[in-house]
C-alpha cells in the first residue's frame, strides 16, 4: 500500500438542485422483463452539461446536469437531475494549476457525485438502480469549451457589427448647420 497524498483541491459539499425520475408505461408488445430492460437501459442516450462558477477567493462551484432517455426514446426510466458540488483550492496554488484542478478533477468529481445520486435515486424504483456508464469526460469538456468559445466569438462579432452600424449612422447623419445671428442694433 502507498500513502495517498492530499490534493490542493478540497470537496466541501454536494447537493441536488433538481431531480425527476419517471417510469412511463412501456409500449404495447414489450414483455417488460428485467433482463430486457437492463439491455435497453445500457443503450440509453445520456446527455450532460456543466458550469463552473468562481466564488470568493479559492472557492468554486461546479453545477452539473444529466438527462437520461430525455424524450423517452426508449422504454423505462426518464431521468433529469441537476446538482452542485462546491470546492476550495488552497490559496497558495498557482492560477494555472487551479484551472487544471477545476476543469479536470472538480468536473469529474461533480459528475461522479451525480452518477452515485442517480443510482441511489433509482435503486428504490421498480426497475432497480440505473448506473450511468463511464463516458469520456475529456470529449464533453472539449465540446463545452469549443461551444463557449464559438458563442463568445459570435457575440464579439455582433458587438463589432453594432459598433460599425453606429459609426455608419454617425457618418450618414448630416451635421446640423450652425446659423449665427447677426447682432441687430435697435434705433431709439
Distances in whole angstroms, Cα of residue 59 to Cα of each of 8, 11, 90: 12, 10, 9
- 71-86: average pLDDT: 91
Round to whole Å and give the CA distance between 185 and 188. 9
Round to whole Å and give the CA distance between 115 and 113. 5
pLDDT confidence of 68, banded at 50, 70, 90? Answer: very high
Residue range 12-67, pLDDT digits in tens = 999 999 999 998 766 555 666 667 777 788 889 999 999 999 998 889 999 999 99
C-alpha grid cell for residue 77? 426510466
Q: Supply the mean pLDDT for the chain.
A: 85
CB-neighbour burial class of residue 100 (10 A; exposed 0-12, middle 13-18, buried 19+): middle
Instruction: State whether CATH 1.10.10.410 applies to domain 9-135.
Output: no
Amino acid at each position: 500500500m502507498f500513502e495517498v497524498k492530499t490534493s490542493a483541491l478540497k470537496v466541501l459539499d454536494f447537493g441536488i438542485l433538481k431531480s425527476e425520475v419517471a417510469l412511463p408505461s412501456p409500449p404495447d408488445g414489450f414483455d417488460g422483463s428485467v433482463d430486457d430492460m437492463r439491455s435497453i437501459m445500457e443503450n440509453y442516450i445520456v446527455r450532460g452539461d456543466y458550469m463552473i462558477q468562481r466564488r470568493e477567493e479559492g472557492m468554486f462551484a461546479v453545477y452539473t446536469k444529466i438527462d437520461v432517455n430525455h424524450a423517452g426514446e426508449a422504454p423505462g426510466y426518464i431521468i433529469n437531475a441537476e446538482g452542485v458540488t462546491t470546492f476550495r483550492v488552497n490559496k497558495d496554488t498557482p492560477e494555472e494549476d487551479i484551472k487544471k484542478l477545476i476543469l479536470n478533477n472538480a468536473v469529474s468529481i461533480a459528475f461522479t457525485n451525480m452518477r452515485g445520486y442517480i443510482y441511489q435515486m433509482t435503486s428504490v424504483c421498480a426497475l432497480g438502480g440505473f448506473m450511468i456508464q463511464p463516458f469520456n469526460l475529456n470529449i464533453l469538456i472539449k465540446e463545452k469549451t469549443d461551444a463557449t468559445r464559438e458563442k463568445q466569438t459570435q457575440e464579439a462579432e455582433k458587438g463589432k457589427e453594432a459598433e460599425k452600424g453606429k459609426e455608419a449612422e454617425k457618418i450618414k447623419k448630416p451635421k446640423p448647420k450652425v446659423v449665427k445671428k447677426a447682432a441687430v442694433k435697435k434705433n431709439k
